[in-house]
Every structure is written in C-alpha cells, then in structure tokens.
A and B are shown apart, each in its own frame.
Chain A
C-alpha cells in the first residue's frame, strides 16, 4: 500500500465528513449572508473588486478563523478519533496528519471560497467597466486581484486550521478541546494586534519595526498581505507590512502547528503535565501535613 494512497484515503474521508455534516454546509450560506450585508452597507460591490475586498477584509479576519476552528477543533477528537485503531494499519503519522489537514483544508476552501466566488461573479455583473479588465500591471481594478484576495484568504484559513488542529491534538477531552480552540481563535483574532499595540505603547516596538512585528500575528500578516498585494497594487499605496516577514510568519505558524500535531499525535503532553501537577500538589499536601 503506497503512502500516497493512504494519504488520499484519509483526505477523502475528511472531505466526505465535511460534505456530510449539515452544520458545516450551513456555513457558506451564513458567510454569503454576512458578505451581502457587509457589501450592502459598504457599497463595495458597485465599486469593483478592490473596494469589495476592502469591505470584506475585516469580517473575514473574524469569520475565517471561526470556520477554521469549527473544522479543526474536533479533527482528532470525539467520534473522529480512531487513532487507536488506525495505528494497527500501515498508516504513518505524516500520512494521517497530512491527509486530515488537506481534507479539512479542502472543506475550508469550499466553505469560504464558494461565497467569495459568488461575490466575485456579482462584482463582474454589477461592477464598473474597470472590473472587467484582466490587468497585468498595477493601478487597475481586476478580477486577478480578487482571485489573489481569495487565495490569501484560504492560506490564512489553512494557518488557523492547522493551529486549531494542533489544539485538538494537545487537548483531547471535548470541553477542554473547545476551550483550547476558542483560545486559538482569540489569539489569532485579537492577540497579535493587542501585543503589537502594547509594544507600541511601551515603546518596545518602534515605528520602523512595526511592519515586521505585525507579521508574527496570523491575522495581521493576512491583513497586511491583502493591503500590500491586492489593495496596494490597484492604488499604488502599499507599505502596510513587511511582505517577506508576513509570508514567513504565516509559513512558520503553519509548519509549527503541523509539526506539533505530528509530534503530539501519539503522545499526551497535557496529560503528562496534569500528572506532573497532580504529583506536585500531592507532594505539597504531604509537606503541609508534616
């Protein structure tokens, strides 16, 4: 049995799981409703692809992590956890983790990509003349920029999905896994920005270093990359973030999360910590008794 076939079988099971879970299928409908409301209020739809991307950027910074956490936090928990059985099959840890991640990422790409594609078609139909131009140079609104926006959004989702899956592996129990996933959500959505703000207030981060510091936060890196490579291209106003640092930041979060899943998948690191804490508290109690 080749590793590729095992990987494919595992990934396909995840895609099938997403397709067969009704609550997941409601997500694109919900996203489309939010997009419609946002664009109606912001008026970006008639302005073209770039104004549409600008209108959707802020909601997506919250909604994409939400979808990623919903897909990832039980990827290795509850009824989805059959690792004790899978380890009796010729399934390597890398094939298992890679297959589950890619399968769920395809689900995420469908859930977030489909409503965005509908929005893209809507811009094509109601947008101005410029929106029908496939620009190869900067300074023009173009469907290419919207495709880039969509691709960046899915990449951002991939990073948060990996982080949520890592939380799912580190914390197995249902409620604890949910709490860990929500912690990931808070860290991704607000943690980086708040840290950067705190750093600025304390003069720990200078203005010249802000673009690089923000790259360490997944959502700030995503926002910066959209502003730099989508909005900035059409408006010639970039310099929102250090692009190589932002790409490196997202890649580092993704790789670190996937590696921690592979390392932690057959271990119980938090269980070990709990056992250690139990032992420590027992020793403290023993010492107090003396």
Chain B
C-alpha cells in the first residue's frame, strides 16, 4: 500500500430530485490497497460507487482520478451486471478486450475460475458465474483502480472467499480495489481501509485497527453497530418520499 492516492473525492453530494442520497462525501483512496465501503442498506454505497466511476454525476463536489495514465483507469463491476444474450463468456470478454488491447480473455477467465465455462452462453450461466464474469470484465486492461459493487452477491462462501482473495492479490501487485460489501467477516480479513457510510455521509473511515480502537470494539460489526446504531431498520435517506 502506498500513501499516494489513486482517487480523490472532495465534498461530493448527489441528489435525485429533492432526495439527497450522498451528502458532502470526502475520501481519499490510497493506491495498492483494498478499500471496503460498508454500511446498512440504503446508506448510499452503490450511489457513491456509481459516482466514483462516472456513471452518475455528482450534484456538487469533485471526483478526481490521480493514478497512472492509462487507457482504462477504472474497472467497474456494477451491482447488477448485464451481458449481451447470445454471446459466450469468452466472446463477452473478447468484446471488452477489443476496446483496449485485444488481449486473449482466457487468462481473465482462469483468474476468476470460469475457464471451464468459457464457451457457455451468458444466459446459461448461474447468478454466481455471471458475477464472476463481471469481475473478470472489471479487470480487462489491468486498470489501476477496480471498483466492485457487492462482488460476493450470489456467490457461495468458498467463491466469496476466492473473490476477496483475488482482490487482495491484485492489491498486492499494485492495483487498488474498492469493494462494497455486506460480508463484514470477509471485509475484516481483506480490507486495508474501511469507509463506513451512514445515511449518505461518511460516518467513519480508516484502517481496521484505527476503527476498532476509536470505537472500542474488537470487530467490524461492533464498529458498524457503534456508528449506525439501530441496524435492523433500513435507512431511508430523504424521508419517506
């Protein structure tokens, strides 16, 4: 992990109509690390990630990529990835690869354990396999920053562990991985930095050790409970409308 950031977020707010989903979010993503964004449902994790990759424009504030100059600075796995029906997993990756250097997609499929399904049509892939294909897509072109929105969603525990392990490996080789997840145990074993979102604002951010010390608890769940309070109710930003 390096102290140099790969992405800076300064005072970002995002509103949909009169509902403010993100409020004055400022955070710096250090390069070569795994950064996890956690928070209860409705806390704005997906909106934050979509704003960081440019899928949503912030209402106010600035997102600045300050990493190495490359054709694809940021790779992205959306929360619900879509794939063109009628194409195989290998063809799908080959298309995205053709937009960059046109490299053979097979190593990417091998990395996520999908090599055996390379010739299977995307509509015949299970939910978990689609998620893995989405992760492989996010790594096309070796972007310095990879943003994964709930990558473990729909995966069995072993595969979830595998995904987080892959993220840690990528971080070890200099890539920054930004993950949103509800799997606090995996976040705890993988993330270098944790950002806790609550009702659209950064409630806490820092290394795991820092957060545990600050909130006088020995687990990430304890940190989340201390920050969010009642975690049984869904946070509805902007009121009931």
What is A's interface to B at a CB cutoff of 8 Å? 1, 5-6, 9, 13, 16-17, 20-21, 78-91, 271, 274-276, 278-279, 282
Q: A108–B164 Cα gap in the complex (Å)?
A: 45
Residue in A85, A271, A275, A278 whose beta carbon sits within 8 Å of that of B137 in the complex: A85
Q: How far is the CB of B122 from chain A (nearest CB, A)?
A: 9
Is the pair B85, A84 in contact by a Cβ cutoff of 8 Å?
no
Q: Which of B68-76, B165-173, B210-218, B229-237 contacts A (4 or more CB under 8 A)?
A: B68-76
Q: Which residue of chain B has its CB nearest to the CB of A80?
A: B84
- 6 closest A-B pairs by beta carbon, nearest first, are A275-B17, A20-B86, A84-B55, A89-B99, A9-B98, A88-B76
Q: Does B226 contact A (CB under 8 A)?
A: no
Q: Which residue of chain B has its CB nearest to the CB of A275?
A: B17
* A90 surroundings in chain B (CB, below 8 A): 71-72, 99-100
Q: Does B127 contact A (CB under 8 A)?
A: no
Residue in B50, B53, B99, B137 whose beta carbon sits within 8 Å of that of A91 in the complex: B99
Q: A9-B98, A87-B53 are in contact. Are A16 and B72 (CB under 8 A)?
A: no
Q: A279–B53 Cα gap in the complex (Å)?
A: 28
How many residues belonging to B are interface residues under a CB distance threshold of 8 Å? 31
Instruction: Scan B70-101; emit 1 where CB is below 8 A from any A CB, else 0.
Output: 01111110100111111100000001101111
Q: How far is the CB of B34 from chain A (nearest CB, A)?
A: 19
Q: A80–B84 Cα gap in the complex (Å)?
A: 6
Is the pair A278, B17 in contact by a Cβ cutoff of 8 Å?
yes
Q: Which residue among A9, A85, A86 has the maximum number of chain B CB atoms within 10 Å of its CB?
A: A85
**What are 18 A-B interface contacts by the 8 Å CB criterion?**
A1-B101, A9-B98, A16-B87, A17-B86, A79-B83, A79-B84, A80-B82, A80-B84, A82-B81, A82-B83, A84-B50, A89-B71, A89-B141, A90-B71, A276-B17, A278-B241, A279-B17, A282-B18
For window 41-81 of chain B, which residues contact chain A by CB distance below 8 Å?
50, 53-55, 71-76, 78, 81
Is the pair A82, B84 in contact by a Cβ cutoff of 8 Å?
yes
Q: A275–B238 Cα gap in the complex (Å)?
A: 13
* A85 surroundings in chain B (CB, below 8 A): 76, 78, 81, 96, 137
Is the pair A78, B82 in contact by a Cβ cutoff of 8 Å?
yes
Is the pair A275, B16 in contact by a Cβ cutoff of 8 Å?
yes
Q: How far is the CB of B176 from chain A (nearest CB, A)?
A: 14
* B18 surroundings in chain A (CB, below 8 A): 275, 278-279, 282
Is the pair A81, B99 in contact by a Cβ cutoff of 8 Å?
no
Is the pair B71, A88 in contact by a Cβ cutoff of 8 Å?
no
Q: A72–B93 Cα gap in the complex (Å)?
A: 24
Is the pair A84, B78 in contact by a Cβ cutoff of 8 Å?
yes
Q: How far is the CB of B129 from chain A (nearest CB, A)?
A: 15
Is the pair A1, B71 in contact by a Cβ cutoff of 8 Å?
yes
Is the pair A21, B74 in contact by a Cβ cutoff of 8 Å?
no
Q: Does B143 contact A (CB under 8 A)?
A: yes
Q: A91–B96 Cα gap in the complex (Å)?
A: 10
Q: Which residue of chain A has its CB nearest to the CB of B19?
A: A275
* A82 surroundings in chain B (CB, below 8 A): 81-84
Is the pair A17, B84 in contact by a Cβ cutoff of 8 Å?
yes
Q: Which residue of chain B has its CB nearest to the CB of A84?
A: B55
Q: Which residue of chain B has its CB nearest to the CB of A86?
A: B99
Q: How far is the CB of B207 from chain A (nearest CB, A)?
A: 28
Q: Which residue of chain A has its CB nearest to the CB of B71?
A: A90
Is the pair A6, B83 in contact by a Cβ cutoff of 8 Å?
no
Is the pair A89, B82 in contact by a Cβ cutoff of 8 Å?
no
Residue in A1, A16, A271, A276 whose beta carbon sits within 8 Å of that of B100 in the complex: A1
Q: A20–B85 Cα gap in the complex (Å)?
A: 9
Q: How far is the CB of A169 from chain B (nearest CB, A)?
A: 15
A1-B101, A13-B95, A271-B16 given; name 9 further pairs at CB < 8 Å: A16-B86, A16-B87, A21-B86, A79-B85, A80-B84, A82-B81, A82-B84, A275-B16, A279-B17
Q: A20-B87, A85-B76, A276-B17 are in contact. Are A79 and B82 (CB under 8 A)?
A: yes
Is the pair B54, A13 in contact by a Cβ cutoff of 8 Å?
no
* A9 surroundings in chain B (CB, below 8 A): 95, 98-99
Is the pair B54, A88 in contact by a Cβ cutoff of 8 Å?
yes
* B84 surroundings in chain A (CB, below 8 A): 13, 17, 79-80, 82
* B76 surroundings in chain A (CB, below 8 A): 84-85, 88
* A275 surroundings in chain B (CB, below 8 A): 16-18
Q: A85–B53 Cα gap in the complex (Å)?
A: 9
Q: A16–B143 Cα gap in the complex (Å)?
A: 27
* A81 surroundings in chain B (CB, below 8 A): 82
* B73 surroundings in chain A (CB, below 8 A): 88
* B100 surroundings in chain A (CB, below 8 A): 1, 89-90
Instruction: Scan B181-210; emit 1 where CB is below 8 A from any A CB, else 0.
Output: 000000000000000000000000000000
* B87 surroundings in chain A (CB, below 8 A): 16, 20
Q: Which residue of chain B has its CB nearest to the CB of A77?
A: B82
Q: How far is the CB of B108 from chain A (nearest CB, A)?
A: 14
* B141 surroundings in chain A (CB, below 8 A): 89
* B85 surroundings in chain A (CB, below 8 A): 17, 20-21, 79
